[in-house]
């Protein structure tokens, strides 16, 4: 305190004592005022802290709790705030809540902030201490985000660690938007106190949310498991499952890929995984297009199936080993889970979200358990359907066997083959070929084109697919690219009707002899037939060969019996004939009846002549009896006989003109 006077000769010593006393009183008053002011401020801060902690503690909604802290802290210090939680893996953090004092510039939420390569954030997480950065638009610690600082007009920046149980779970950012302003010590202290006091409540809310989330996931997983296990048709099972998972877990897309075990869809066994079910319009289109991913290829699904392990991409756009699907442009996170049943990987489930860092390690456990249950349900459904199919096929084969065993007509046998094979596989294009080995001829007693019976003329030996089956005595299955396969085998391209896109042919074998070929084809789609169809048709061919052989033997036996009966009848009638003319007429009449001839003549041979001894039937215009003819005028008869050296009037030759 200073005092001035315009008077002279003042008692300075006396006045100094007085002034010191007054100054002391003023100092005490000022100090009391500061203390009161500080006490009031501390009291206000304590009220603020208690209110924030109370509000946060009373809420188990994490987003709401973080929003309370961000808003109250921003209003108290008049700064822009942002609270970011560190994502799974620690590579990034996401802004969950924020506050802006400027109503025209709302807070930014959902922003992904990189941690690696961001010196300021790395320092706060590593040291677990507050970092105040003046001139944030030029400070080296904020170099990676200088442009963002300028865009948001941030001049000073305070980064505070959000610590729970000595672990940094996130950061709180305070942004000063006024140029020239700096953080005061009391503002820093207040922010640290609020953040420290609220951290535990925030963690409790976070844990509660996680428990609730996990409970919801488990309930949803149980519902998915119940639904999947209650269905025994694989296709509806998969469609229902992917939609249920998407809806219950709030996902963007869910799809199920299964390994193409036999190459039915892709043409290459166990090389591709084919999408069997997918959600939404994107899923429908991909299923229609037979969308497939190479096992072990550059996609997450392919690697997941190869390794039998879950594969997660928290930032899908930055993932190198991932198939970027143009039908799913909004995917931010993706998880591929192997479908494992009884120790075997049968496919994978693709789960996608529009949120970055959407999945945690705990999610993998829940979703993997669910995927395993879906895989088991799928396998159970397949086994059930396979059992049903096997029972149906066995029934058809048994019924066919019984039908064939009672049939002794080849034409009826072939019709029976077609009738029963139609219950086992696609027979819209189907034929049965019989191999006439002596004539080197292939006959087609049954041809079906587009489910309508047709006809094919007999065919001399040509190096086509049917002849290949006959020559190799082995079955042939061509799933696709038939013309290319024909060229590879060095065969002749023989097209009768519409060209086939799938071809299956099996030989009807009896020992080493090929009786014919059974073939099924499809002219519309490739890979219609598989190894199972080949095995079925081979079983049919085996039974058919036995039935055809039995019918042939029966027909041969019937002919022999008929011949014996005819011979016995002829012998009896000849014995009753008492004249040469009677014998000749009887013999010619029986011969004409037995082998259906138009005219029969009997000649006796006399040296270089032949004499007509009889003719049947005997009509007005019939050739005369006892007519002597020169053998040289009948070269066919001459070449058919060899004249004996000894003369015999009863050596004869039949000349038959057949109908």
Tens of pLDDT, residue by residue over 119-147, are 999 999 999 999 999 988 999 988 888 88
Structure tokens at 493: 């391209």
What mean pLDDT do residues 311-333 have? 78
d(C-alpha 468, C-alpha 490), whole Å? 10
Report H helices in 596-658. Answer: 635-640
Beta bridge partners of residue 243, listed in sequence order: none
Q: pLDDT (tens digit, 9 = 90+) per residue, 335-385?
A: 999 999 888 899 999 999 988 878 877 788 888 888 888 888 888 888 888
Q: What percentage of residues in the chain have a pLDDT greater than 70?
A: 88
pLDDT: is 610 or 39 the higher one? Answer: 610
d(C-alpha 329, C-alpha 512), whole Å? 61
How many other C-beta atoms can be found within 10 angstroms of the C-beta atom of residue 524?
13
What mean pLDDT do residues 495-500 have? 74
Q: pLDDT (tens digit, 9 = 90+) per residue, 250-260?
A: 899 999 999 99
Contact 616, 593 (CB under 8 A): no
Closest CA to 87 of 95, 97, 79: 95
pLDDT at 646 over 50: no
Q: pLDDT (tens digit, 9 = 90+) per residue, 424-437?
A: 999 889 999 999 98
Instruction: Look at the block and give the residue holding tokens 């105040």.
Output: 132
Contact 630, 587 (CB under 8 A): no
How many other C-beta atoms can be found within 10 angstroms of the C-beta atom of residue 106?
10
Structure tokens at 522: 């499809």
Domain 231-386 in CATH: superfamily?
Answer: GAF domain (3.30.450.40)
d(C-alpha 626, C-alpha 609), whole Å? 12
| Packing angle, helices 185-229 and 62-77, rounded to 10 | 160
Neighbouring residues of 23: CB distance < 8 A, sequence distance ≥ 6: 1
How many other C-beta atoms can be found within 10 angstroms of the C-beta atom of residue 497?
14
DSSP letter assigned to residue 624: P
Domain range summary for the chain, segments of one domain joined by +: 231-386, 407-555, 577-658
Neighbouring residues of 627: CB distance < 8 A, sequence distance ≥ 6: 611, 612
Structure tokens at 594: 């037995």
pLDDT band at 659 (very low <50, low <70, confident <90, very high): very low
d(C-alpha 444, C-alpha 417), whole Å? 14
Structure tokens at 44: 């206000």
Q: pLDDT (tens digit, 9 = 90+) per residue, 88-104?
A: 778 888 898 999 988 88
Q: Computed over its alpha carbons, how large is the radius of gyration of the chain?
A: 50
Backbone angles phi and psi of 599, in degrees to 5: -140, 135
Neighbouring residues of 413: CB distance < 8 A, sequence distance ≥ 6: 404, 407, 544, 547, 548, 551
Is there a common fold for 231-386 and 407-555?
Answer: yes
Q: Calculate the CA 105 to chain-centre distance.
A: 48
Longest dimension (CA), the chain: 200
SS (H, E, C) 242-296: HHHHHHHHCCCEEEEEEECCCCCCCCCCCCEEEEEEECHHHHHHHHHCCCEEECC
Give the pLDDT of residue 417. 94
Q: How far is CA 198 from CA 63, 85, 483, 615, in A?
A: 13, 14, 75, 128
- Reply yes or no: is the peptide bond before residue 617 cis, omega within 30 of 0: yes
Structure tokens at 197: 């006091």
pLDDT at 8 over 90: no
Contact 599, 657 (CB under 8 A): yes
Give the pLDDT of residue 516. 94
Q: Strands 253-259 and 167-176: what pairing?
A: unpaired
> According to CATH, what is the number of the domain 407-555?
3.30.450.40
Report H helices in 58-158. Answer: 62-77, 119-127, 146-151
d(C-alpha 477, C-alpha 333), whole Å? 43
What mean pLDDT do residues 299-307 have? 91
What b/e string do you get for 145-182 counting C-beta neighbours within 10 Å, with b at 16 or more? beeebeebebbbbbbbbbbeeeebbbbbbbbbbeeeee
Structure tokens at 631: 């053998």
Instruction: Look at the block and give the residue holding tokens 């096929």.
Output: 393
Closest CA to 370 of 216, 213, 214, 218: 218
pLDDT at 279 over 90: yes
d(C-alpha 357, C-alpha 353), whole Å? 9
Least confident window among 41-55, 171-185, 264-278, 555-569? 41-55
pLDDT: is 30 or 587 the higher one? Answer: 587
Structure tokens at 39: 């006490």
């Amino acid at each position: 305190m200073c005092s001035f006077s315009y008077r002279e000769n003042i008692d300075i010593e006396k006045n100094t004592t007085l002034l010191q006393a007054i100054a002391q009183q003023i100092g005490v008053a000022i100090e009391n005022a500061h203390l009161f002011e500080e006490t009031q401020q501390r009291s206000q801060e304590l009220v603020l802290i208690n209110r924030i902690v109370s509000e946060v503690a009373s809420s188990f909604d994490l987003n709401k709790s973080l929003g309370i802290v961000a808003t109250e802290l921003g209003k108290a210090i008049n700064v822009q705030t942002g609270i970011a939680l560190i994502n799974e893996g620690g590579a990034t953090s996401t802004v969950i809540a924020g506050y802006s004092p400027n109503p025209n510039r709302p807070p930014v939420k959902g922003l992904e902030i990189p941690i690696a390569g961001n010196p300021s954030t790395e320092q706060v997480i590593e040291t677990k201490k507050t970092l105040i950065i003046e001139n944030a638009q030029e400070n080296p610690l904020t170099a990676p985000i200088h442009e963002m600082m300028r865009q948001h007009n941030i001049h000073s920046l305070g980064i505070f660690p959000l610590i729970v149980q000595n672990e940094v779970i996130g950061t709180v950012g305070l942004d000063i938007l006024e140029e020239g302003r700096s953080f005061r010590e009391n503002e820093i202290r207040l922010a640290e106190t609020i953040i420290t006091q609220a951290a535990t409540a925030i963690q409790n809310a976070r844990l509660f949310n996680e428990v609730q989330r996990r409970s919801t996931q488990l309930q949803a997983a149980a519902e998915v498991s119940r639904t999947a296990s209650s269905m025994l048709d694989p296709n509806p099972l998969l469609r229902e499952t992917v939609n249920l998972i998407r809806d219950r877990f709030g996902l963007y897309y869910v799809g199920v890929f299964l390994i193409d075990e036999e190459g039915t869809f892709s043409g290459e066994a166990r090389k591709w995984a084919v999408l069997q079910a997918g959600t939404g319009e994107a899923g429908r289109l991909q299923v229609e297009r037979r969308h497939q991913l190479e096992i072990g290829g550059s996609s997450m699904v392919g690697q997941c199936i190869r390794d039998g392990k879950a594969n997660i991409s928290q930032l899908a756009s930055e993932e190198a080993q991932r198939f970027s699907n143009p039908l799913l442009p909004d995917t931010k996170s993706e998880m591929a889970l192997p479908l494992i049943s009884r120790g075997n990987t049968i496919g994978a489930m693709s789960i996608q979200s529009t949120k970055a860092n959407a999945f945690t390690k705990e999610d993998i456990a829940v979703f993997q358990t669910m995927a395993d249950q879906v895989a088991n349900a799928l396998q159970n459904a397949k086994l059930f359907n396979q059992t049903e199919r096997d029972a149906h096929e066995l029934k058809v084969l048994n019924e066919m066997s019984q039908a064939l065993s009672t049939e002794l007509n080849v034409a009826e046998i072939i019709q029976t083959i077609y009738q029963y094979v139609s219950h086992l596989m696609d027979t819209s294009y189907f034929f049965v070929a019989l191999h006439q080995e002596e004539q080197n001829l292939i006959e087609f007693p049954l041809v079906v084109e587009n489910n309508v019976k047709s006809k094919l003329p007999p065919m001399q030996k040509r190096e086509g697919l049917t002849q290949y089956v006959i020559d190799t005595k082995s079955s042939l299955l061509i799933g696709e690219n038939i013309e290319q396969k024909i060229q590879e085998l060095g065969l002749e391209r023989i097209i009768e009707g519409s060209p086939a896109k799938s071809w299956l042919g099996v030989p009807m074998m009896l020992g080493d002899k090929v009786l014919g070929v059974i073939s099924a084809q499809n002219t519309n789609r490739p890979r219609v037939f598989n190894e199972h169809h080949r095995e079925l048709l081979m079983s049919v061919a085996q039974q058919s060969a036995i039935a055809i052989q039995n019918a042939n033997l029966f027909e041969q036996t019937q002919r022999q019996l008929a011949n014996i009966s005819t011979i016995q009848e002829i012998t009896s009638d000849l014995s009753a004939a008492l004249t040469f003319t009677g014998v000749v007429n009887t013999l010619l009449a029986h011969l004409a009846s037995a082998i259906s001839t138009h005219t029969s003549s009997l000649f006796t041979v006399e040296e270089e002549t032949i004499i007509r001894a009889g003719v049947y039937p005997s009509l007005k215009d019939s050739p005369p009896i006892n007519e002597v003819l020169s053998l040289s005028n009948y070269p066919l008869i001459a070449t058919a006989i060899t004249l004996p050296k000894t003369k015999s009037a009863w050596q004869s030759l039949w000349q038959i003109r057949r109908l």
